[in-house]
Amino acid sequence: MGVPEAPAMGETRALRTRARRHGSPEPTRIRMDDDFFPPAPALDSYDAVVSVPRTTLSADLAE
């Protein structure tokens, strides 16, 4: 599964159901900008996950 080019949201309930049905390992880490949240059962801990593939610092914007 690739990363979308535009921001996208994935509902974790569907992912949780699919992972458990197929015996797939569930993710335990969620990346937040430049670090990771502490390890936790990600699909049980969050209702949705948002992918923002590209961000810009305000200092990089032309005035």
Mind listing the pLDDT tens digit for each residue in 8-29? Answer: 888 888 888 888 899 988 888 8
Cα dihedral 4/14/42/20 (nearest 10)? -120
Mind listing the pLDDT tens digit for each residue in 19-61? Answer: 889 998 888 887 777 788 788 888 888 888 888 877 777 766 6
How far apart are the C-alpha atoms of 16 and 11, rounded to whole Å? 9
Amino acid at 53: P
How far apart are the C-alpha atoms of 26 and 32, rounded to whole Å? 18
Say if CB 49 and CB 12 are below 8 A apart: yes
Q: Which pTM does this prediction carry?
A: 0.52
